[in-house]
Chain A
Amino acid sequence: MPEEGTNPMSKILTCAIHKGGSGKTTAAYHLARRAGERGWKTLLVDLDGQGNASQVAAGVGPGNRIDTPDNLRAADLFDVEEGIGKPILAADAQGLSLLPADLRLLEVERLPLEAINTFKMRLHAVANDFDVVVIDTPPTMGMAMLAPMFASHYAFAPVVPDGFGLAGAMSIAERVAEVRTAHNPELQFLGILVNRFSSRDADQKRVVASLEAELGDFLIPHKIPHSTAISALSHTRQPVWYRARSGSTRQVGKVVRAAMDWVLDAAAIAPAVAVAGAR
C-alpha cells in the first residue's frame, strides 16, 4: 500500500463506449468497488450527466435530485478554478470517494478544446491523493468522453454483442488510437467486455463467437450475462457479488467479479490486501 499523501503511481481507468445502454455505469461502479476491495483508495468520477453512478455510489446526483454543491464535482474539473479546495465526497462504501455528476456536465460540450487540458491537469492533481481513479463517461462522443481519454492510463469498453455494439466499440477503438498518437501516448486499451449477453439470442451468440475468434486478448475472457441481478443495481446499490441469495445471482456475481479482477490485473493494480474471491 503506498504511503499517505501524494501518490505518483495512481492509475486512472476510463470506462467508455460510443453507445448508450452498454453497461458503462455498472462496469465502472463494480470496477471501483473491486479496486476498493483490493485495498486501494479509489475515486469514482461520474462524467455522465444522467448521474447514475453518483446515485449508486452515494445516493446523490441529478437522478436523485440531491446536489452536492459543497463538494468537488466532476464538472468542476473542466474549469481552472471551480471547486478548488472543496472536499471530496466520501461514497457509501469504505475506501471509495466520488466526484458526482451534476447538470453542468451537459454544458461542458460547449467548452473550447483547451478545457480538455484543464480537465487533465485538475484530474491529475486530484488523482495524486488516490491509488485508483475510475471514470464513468456519457455515451456520446464529446468533451466528456474525450477528456478522460486524454487523461487516463487505461480504457476499456463494455459492449452488448450486437451490430450496434460493434459499431460503438469500433468508434472507441479508433478514438483511442488517435488520442494515443496525438495527445496521450500512455493510454492503453485493456479490452472489450461482453456485457448483457443473452446466450439464447442466436445473433448475439454469432457476434460473440466472432469476437472470440478475432479479438484475441482484446476480448476480456469473462462474459457478463444479461441478468436482473445487475439491473437491480439502482436500488441495491451494492456490487452484484454482495447479493448472493440465489444460485444464479451468485453465478453472475462471480463472473462480474472475475471480469473486474481481469481489468485490474491488466492495469497492474494488484491486490494490496487479501481479498475474497481472488483466484
Chain B
Amino acid sequence: MSAPAAGSTPAKGGVFGQMPSLVAGLRQSRGPAIAMLEVDKVEPDPNQPRKVFDEEALQSLAESIKEIGLLQPITVRSGTTLGTYIVVAGEPRWRAHRIAGLNHIPAIVRSSDDCGDATLIENLQREDLTLSEQIALVARLIEERGSATAAARAVRKPAKWITERSRLAGAPEWVLSFVATGFTTDATALYDLVRFAEAEPERARRIVDEFEEGDSLRSLVREAIKASKPSPPAPQTISASRGGETSSEWSSEARTSESDRGEGSAGFYDGGSELGAREEPRFGGGESGASSDATSHEPAFRRDTTSARHESDRNEEANGSESEEPSIVPVAAKSIEADADASCLLIRTKNAVFRVALSKRLKVEMQKALAQL
C-alpha cells in the first residue's frame, strides 16, 4: 500500500503503516459471517417448497454429524423476532441437528436485506427437488420477480426451463396430479402434453390415463401429436394465436405484463426473443425444430412465453367452458402498423406495443396491400 503523495514525500509507516491492518479488519466486518447458532433459535422456512423429508436419510445425516460434525454450514437469515433465524438453505441439515440432539449449528448468516428470494433461487438450483416442487417454486419466483424473463435471469436457468414449469403451474388438475405421481420428470414432455391438451383434450387425457410406469411420456405425446392432424392453417389474426379469451382480460393482462417488465414492449411473441421462444417445443408446423418462421400454422397452440403466468391463471376457466375456436379479440389500438418486411404487425395500445407475427400467407397478402398504398 502507498500513501498518496501530495507533492511531498509520502509518509510510509507511522500513521499510514496502520492502513493495511485497518483494511484487513474492515473486510471481515461486513458480509455473511459464519457463526454457531442455537438450534432452537433457528426455524424452518414456512415457504420451503419441500414438504417431505426422507426420515432415513435424516437419521443417517444425524449420525454422521454426530461423528464428524457438519461439513457445510447451513445458511440462515434473520427471523420474525430479533435473535431468531430462518433457514435459507439446509433445512435437512438443521433437522438432522435436532435429531442428533445438538444445541448449536454452524450457519452463514445473511443480512435480511440481501436475502430477498435467495431461498427460492438456491432451492431452484438444487438437483434433488421433485418436479412438483420445482413448478411451485417457479410460480412463486415469477410472482416475486414480476415476469418469467426476470425469473429466468435471477435463477440462471435456461428460459425454456422456466417457461415449461411456469406453464405447468397453470396446467389442469389432472396434469398436476399426474406430475405428483412422479412417474415422469420430463418437464418438456409434460409441457408439450399441456399444449396438446388445449387442442385435443380427450386424446391428451387418454395419454395420461393409459400411462404406465416406465413409459416414455415424450414419445407418447409425440406420437399423439403426429396422429392428430393439425387443423389447416387458419387465418392468422390475433385471435388465432390467442385461443379463446375475452378481450377485457387480454388487454388488461397485456398492460400488466408490460408494466411489470418495465420494458418498451409486451406482446404475444416478443417476450420470446429474450425468453427463448426459439427453443420452445413446437407442433403443428412440422417436426420438432422445423422452420424458424415463428408463426406458421399453429392455430391451436399458443406460443407466448412471458405471459405464461397470466395465461395459466386463466387456463382452468378457458379450458372446457369456452370453445377452443379462435375468436376475434378486440384490442383498443392506437395504431397498427406493419413491420418493414411485413412479417409482423405492430399494434400500439395505450400502454403497450404488441408484435403479432404473421403467417407466410398473410405476409404475402400484407406485402401486396402495402404495395398498393
Contacts and interface: CB of A to CB of B under 8 A. Distances in A.
A186 interface: yes
Contacts of B320: none
Contacts, number: 109
Contact-residue bracket for chain A: 35 or more
Contacts of A210: 3-4, 16, 19
Given A169-B22, A210-B16, A218 B30 contact: yes
Contacts of A121: 83
Nearest to A165: B15
B27 to A, nearest CB: 8
Given A170-B22, A174-B25, A268-B113, A127 B82 contact: yes
B332 interface: no
Contacts of A268: 113
A261 B32 CA distance: 23
B107 interface: yes
Best-buried of A155, A169, A181, A214 by chain B (most CB within 10 Å): A214
Interface string A146-157: 000000010100
Nearest to B16: A210
B76 to A, nearest CB: 9
A8 B80 contact: yes
Interface stretch (A43-51, A71-79, A199-207, A251-259): A199-207
Nearest to B77: A186
B33 interface: yes
B207 interface: no
Nearest to B24: A173
Interface in A178-194: 180-190, 192
Contact-residue bracket for chain B: 35 or more
Interface string A41-84: 00000000000000000000000000000000000000000000
A249 interface: no
B292 to A, nearest CB: 46
A272 B346 CA distance: 41
B22 A124 contact: no
B72 interface: no
B15 A162 contact: yes
Interface of B: 1-4, 6, 10-11, 14-16, 18-19, 21-23, 25-26, 28-35, 37, 78-83, 107-109, 111-113
17 contacts: A8-B79, A8-B81, A163-B18, A166-B15, A166-B22, A169-B22, A170-B18, A176-B25, A180-B28, A180-B35, A183-B35, A184-B35, A185-B108, A206-B16, A209-B6, A210-B19, A214-B1
Interface of A: 6, 8-10, 12, 120-121, 124, 127-128, 153, 155, 162-163, 166-167, 169-170, 173-174, 176-177, 180-190, 192, 202-203, 205-207, 209-211, 213-215, 218, 268
